[in-house]
Structures are given as C-alpha cells and as structure tokens.
Structure 1
Amino acid sequence: MDPLSQTNGPLFEPLPLPCGLTLNNRIAKSAMSDSLGDGTGHPTAVQTRLYQRWAEGGLAVSIIGEVQLTSGYAENPGNLVLNEASDLERFRKLALHGSENGTSLWLQLGHAGALAYTPTSNPKGPTAFDLPGLRCVEITSEEIGQLPSQFAATARLAQEAGFGGVQIHAAHGFLLSQFLSPLFNKRTDGYGGAIASRMRLLLEAIDATRAAVGPSFPIAVKLNSSDELEGGFDEEDALKVVAALDRTSIDLIDISGGTYFPGAKSASDRSGRGPYFLEFAKRARAVTTKPLMLTGGFKTRAQAEDAVASGAVDMVGLARALVLEPSLPNLWKEQKKSEPAFPRFSDAPEGGVTAWYTMRLAEIGSNTETSDFLGLERAIQAYKARDEARTEQWSAHFENAVRTS
C-alpha cells in the first residue's frame, strides 16, 4: 500500500479485478434509472454532462442504469437502448466524457420483463400474471433462447463505443430477477423449479457476454440479497447464486435488495442508519472470492470505510448521496465533508422520492443545481410531464417495437 492510500484510508486503495483492470479506489456510483435519454434510446447532452461531473468527482466506477438490449421491454422511456440500430457515435461521446479522470464507466444491461413500461411495451415475464398493477404474458422458450446473445451483442457494442465494462442486471424485480424468484417463476421447463434451474438464464447470459467481449473486459452482476417478498427470492437462494457466480468469469458482484413490483417498498425508500444488506454481504463473502460491492444505505464516509475495512465488501456503491453531492469522493479524500445533507420528505406518495432525486439529476447535468431543494410536488409534476413527452417520442421512433417484440 502506498503512503497516500494509508493517509486516505481503505476507500482510496486501488482494487484489482479478475479481468486485469485495477480500479482507482473503492467508491462506485451504483446504477440508477436516470431517465435522461432522449426518448429514442440515445444519450443527451445533459446525461453526458452528468456522468462527466461524477467522473470529475473522483469515482472509480460509474454505472449507467437500465441500458436496454431492445426497445420492447424498457423500464422507462428515458432509458438508453444499445443495439445494432443505435447511433454508436452518440454513445461514444458519453463514454468519452464519463470516463474522464480515470473513472471506469459501465453500462448496466437491462430487460424489465414483467415490469416493462406498459405505454410502450407488452410486458413479458417468466410466467403470465393478471394481478392489480401487474399484468404480463409468459415469455416463450424461443425468446429465452435469444436473450443471452442479446446481452452479448449489447456488451460488445458497449466495448466498441469505449465504455469500461458492463453490469448484468439480475436484481430489483426485473427480468433476470424474476427468473430467480419462485414467486414469479412458475415455469416447468429447464428455467423453472429449483434454484439451479432458475439461475440458468443468468449464467447463460454471463457466458455469452464473456465470449463476446473477451477476457479483459469487466463484467459485473447486480444481485438481490432477497426480493423481500413472502415466498420470493430469499437469502438462502441468493447464497446459492453467489456460489455459482464464483465459478463464472465475472469480475464483481454488486449486492442489493428489494423489488419495484407494484405495492412493494423499494430498498431505496427504506429508513435506516446504515448499509441495508451488510449482514448478507458477510455471508456471501464466505462462499465467493469474487470482489463484492454493496449498494444501499450508505450515508456517511464512516459507514463506507467500516464496510470495506471489515473485509465484508471490497467496494461501496453510492447513489442518492452522489445526487446530493456529485464530488463526494473527492471531498471524502480531502477530508472536507463526511456526509451530504439528505432531505426529509413527509407523506411522500409512492415513487415521489424517486421522482425528486431523478429530477435533481437533470439539474446536475444542466449545471443548474442549487443548495435549495426543489419541492416534492413540483418534482413529481416535472417528472410526469417529461415521461409523457418521452413516451410520445419513444412510440414514434420505435413504432414497430411493440408489434414485433
């Protein structure tokens, strides 16, 4: 360890990954649905500037959430879509600026499955459901067979565009997470039943992606510790998935939890004083030698340092803290700030707090944020209006997407 690392503490030690890349420190911007795409699946200037600012702030890794393989199953009309129909030059600009200052900029590869945005999608999940707030048809065996190559193709394009790595999204109730859950996966073929079969699609996606990008390109997986639903994906199954991931070629396991299924409380909206899933991370450490990242609940430098210093995890993922203070890693390194000032919202409607933080991202990318917080109701209205406008753009641009997917 060099003297500077000793001075700045465990968060600022480099982290070598199995693929050969060494990250500058132990702080990542974890994936968020920033909803800053232009409505045609392409990056905007605001989004590019947002990730540039986070890079300037001293992150080791920055992860762009919910980058879609196709237009048919997006989580939001502001998602990016990266495939052969995309304008790769626009992605190259995002990769260039988001990778400044030694930051490794990764794309989170997503497929919303049963949670796909209904105004632009026909949601499909492992099993058909017709419940209040959740309706989907069953994905076919043929479509399942195509998914690994779709993950691989998007990862290969990410590599070609200059991004530093990819993260396969298997958490928070989206498609791969749905396959892992016995509550939402009632299939009787080779992709349902015991956890060994329910994780099959995830493992196939990893293998196909590695074959496409080669041995030196980082591949991470985001995994729930549990989906926190009765009868759903639990910690015992999650540990079995972690043990299986240990035998793959991935470079990092990002541990989180919770789901965005209607009516379920998301992990990001829970209250608490410390990291949410640290105890599970300690259990996961016993069954894998892969680097572990923990996302959820970190609000202070001391919490982040303690988690890394304990050996339970190798890296911390920050999200809302970096929305409040984009330069937080540098401020921590320079001993200038221990924690950002988190706003408090009373009686916020479902999704309201997420809308507030999402609109704050737009302010940061526009260089217009102030110390005064935008009112919650105003943020919700702005978020809704933007979604409505981009839904129209999405539908016009991808007019055949729903009919053909």
Structure 2
Amino acid sequence: MKALKQSRGPLFVPLQLPCGLTLGSRIAKSAMSDSLGDGTGHPTAAQMRLYQRWAEGGLAVSIIGEVQLTSGYAENPGNLVLNEASDLERFKKLALHGSENGTGLWLQLGHAGALAYAPTSIPKGPSAFDLQGLRCAEITSEELRQLPSQFATTARLAQQAGFGGVQIHAAHGFLLSQFLSPLFNRRRDDYGGEIANRMRILLEAVEATRLAVGPTFPIAVKLNSTDELVGGFDEDDALQVVAALDRTSIDLIDISGGTYFPGAKSASDRAGRGPYFLEFAKRARAVTAKPLMLTGGFKTRGQAEDAVACGAVDIVGLARALALEPSLPNLWKEDQKSEPSFPRFPNAPEGGVTAWYTMRLAEIGVDNDPTGSGDLEQAVRDYAERDKHRTKVWLAHFAKEAVGSV
C-alpha cells in the first residue's frame, strides 16, 4: 500500500516552550465552552470521547474551555469545576483520553464574573452595574485576595490529574478581562484606574499559579487584543499587558478578542475573511519574546501557514473548524484537505450559531458525525433544554455553594 504523503510545511515544525516542553506541531484546539459536563462539574463519557477524537486527529495542544475554580461563577451549567471538592479520579480519566497521540490536554481556568450564569450564580464583577443586560454586584476585596490562590489550586490539581498544562482566561469579557477593561472596572483601589492596576490581579494569578505547579508545567494566558466596545479595553492597553506578561514565567500568550457582553459585536463581524487579530499579533511580536498563539478566523490551511511563516505567531488556534472536521490537522499533514466546509446561517437568532456548534460537539462525542448544516432551530431548542436540565442538577449538587461563593 502506498504511504500517504506527509507535509512538512510551517505548521508541522516542532516548537519548544520556555518551560522546556516541545510541541509536535503549530496547531492547537482553542478553548471552547463545549458544555459537556454532567451538571455536577465533572466530565462525561461524551466529553472524554470528544477530546480523544481531537487527540487522534493530530493536534499539538487541545484546550478545554471554561474549567471553573469554584461552582459560584460558572458561565454555563455544563462547565467543569476542579477544586478540592472534585472527584479527581474522573478528571484523570479525561486527561488520559485527551492526551493520547502525544497531544497536550490543557485546562482553561475560568471565572465568569459579571457574566456568570444567573440561574446558578449571583454575578459579580470588578464594579457593580445595574443596566439592561448587565446586572452584577462588585466583587469584594476579600474575594479578590482569594482569587490567585484559587487559580493556583485548580492548576495544581490539573497537574496531579495528568493534564499537560493550563491557560488562564483573561479574554472574552470574563472576570480577568473585565478587570482589564476601563469600561467595566471602575474601582478606586489598587486594582482599578491605570492599566498597571487593572492588570494587577492577572499578574498575581500568574505568579501564584507558577508557584503551585513549578517551572516545567506549561502556563498560557488568553488575552483580548480588544474587547470591541467603545471605551473598553483597546490595543494600546493590550500591548502594555503583553509587555508585562513578557516579564513573567508564562509559556504562551493566546491572542483573541471580543466579549459576550450584550451589544458587543462579534469578532466574526469584522471585514474580510482572514484571521481576525493578525495585525495586532504583529504588533505584539515587537514587545514580547514569548510564543504567540492566535485564535479566531482561521478557515483554511493557507491562512494558518501564512500566519506562522510570516513570523507573526508561533501557533494557530482552531475552534469551529475542528467542530466540523476533528481530524483536520492530520488531513492537512497528509495533504488531503485544505479547509472544512463552513455552514452559513442567515438570520440566525442571537446565540444560535454558537448553540449549533456546541451541539455538534456533543454529536462528535458519541461518534455521530453529521453531514451538512443540520437544523439550527432544533439545535437551539436542544441546547436550551439541556441547560435547563443541568441547571437543576447543578443547584441540587452544589446547593448553597452554587450561589454567591467565589
């Protein structure tokens, strides 16, 4: 039998991280909220199989989105929760399945803050707001002091469970991103005001996490280039954060953008068909020697290759492309496919496309790979019904802890 042709383009050159770990390629599965937890904060068989499928598909790194430090501020009742109360054996099984084939399975450490899922939380952000679409209390100074150690605890447990690394989530409008934004951070203490203060809690979380896991365990940070809101976190502020992160012990900066706040435009609304934040990545390259990853808008192999070949980034982050074709890295390596076929959903309701992709991940997790675009309206209904059920499970399981604790 004739051997398949193996590509050795820029995407398939190994990369060594500052911690000493060498990644086998330049392709990562970006963090997505797969929402496949069981409602008690633990992984399910479908989630294990999903990450196993992606590992089989040839990824260097696969990142599980929105793994919560506590049950109090999840963005979805399908999130995982990893802390001292968790059943670590169940997480060990997930780590084992998702790290097959040499893939690094990393956990994205999350805290939704003001965007916490209201049916299971009392949302809290850097500052209190009472606006249409945004109601939250202000996180207290004592709660803020506890936060770095909570990141550190979850990272340490991830390491013990066999995960390959962690990513601290400071993007997309969740808590650390909220602190970075002058639009949502109106504090008058050491964590508000100038960008040096607004990034303080992020840097404290990084420092505490490194202390907990030691020098050889990969730590990444996901950072917005801009939150796409007037008066919010912008590229000039973001460059200052990148420069500050360059002086820390992290191993990777994952650049993205946008928020889930009401009224914020989606990154996919940007003009053009290329990667969304590539020009910012080029600016960031000038202020950091840390490896850079770029997430958002990669739809073809050519786009991914160009971003790495031009030196703007070291790793490309794929998300929806891997929901359409879980084996895409191997297909690219074997020169079998240049791009997946992205569906179009004209007049989709708000959140509808996200629901469709999320439900597709559930299908992949049970080895059902549907063809075509499927029924958007049915996906939205299924998504809502699943959340309704898991909200009941979450509240019953976490009881008082689920409301109002950090």
* TM-score normalised over the length of structure 2: 0.97
Structure-2 separation of matches of 1:352 and 1:265: 15
Structure-2 separation of matches of 1:370 and 1:256: 29
**Matched residue count:** 402
Alignment match, 2:325: 325
Quick check: 1:227 aligned with 2:230? Answer: no
**Aligned partner letter, 1:190:** D
Alignment match, 2:189: 189
For the 8 Å contact 1:50–1:365, the answer to whether it is kept is yes
Structure-1 separation of matches of 2:86 and 2:263: 34
For the 8 Å contact 2:121–2:404, the answer to whether it is kept is no
Listed one character per residue, the Cα deviations across residues 278-332 of structure 1 (whole Å, up to 9, x for unaligned) are 0000000000000000000000000000000000000000000000000000000
Residues 248 and 5 of structure 1: CA distance in aligned 2, closer, same or farther (over 3 Å): farther
Alignment match, 1:125: 125
Structure-2 separation of matches of 1:23 and 1:220: 14
1:266 deviation in Å? 2.7
Question: What 5-or-longer segments of structure 2 have no aligned partner?
Answer: none
Listed one character per residue, the Cα deviations across residues 201-255 of structure 1 (whole Å, up to 9, x for unaligned) are 0000000000000000000000000001000000000000000000000000000
Alignment match, 2:355: 355
Within-5 A mapping of 1:4-403: 7-268=7-268, 272-403=272-403
**Aligned partner letter, 1:132:** Q
Structure-2 separation of matches of 1:271 and 1:401: 44
For the 8 Å contact 1:294–1:317, the answer to whether it is kept is yes
Secondary structure at the aligned position of 1:84 is classed as coil
For the 8 Å contact 1:272–1:297, the answer to whether it is kept is no
1:262 deviation in Å? 1.4
Listed one character per residue, the Cα deviations across residues 2-39 of structure 1 (whole Å, up to 9, x for unaligned) are xx999520000001000000000000000000000000
Question: What 5-or-longer segments of structure 1 have no aligned partner?
Answer: none
1:272 deviation in Å? 3.5
For the 8 Å contact 1:192–1:198, the answer to whether it is kept is yes
1:267 deviation in Å? 2.1
1:338 deviation in Å? 0.1
**Aligned partner letter, 2:58:** G
Identity %: 82
Secondary structure at the aligned position of 1:371 is classed as coil
Listed one character per residue, the Cα deviations across residues 370-391 of structure 1 (whole Å, up to 9, x for unaligned) are 2133210010000000000000
Listed one character per residue, the Cα deviations across residues 150-192 of structure 1 (whole Å, up to 9, x for unaligned) are 0000000000000000000000000000000000000000000
* TM-score normalised over the length of structure 1: 0.98
**Larger deviation: 256-265 or 118-127?**
256-265
For the 8 Å contact 2:226–2:233, the answer to whether it is kept is yes
Structure-2 separation of matches of 1:145 and 1:268: 36
Secondary structure at the aligned position of 2:240 is classed as helix
For the 8 Å contact 2:224–2:257, the answer to whether it is kept is yes
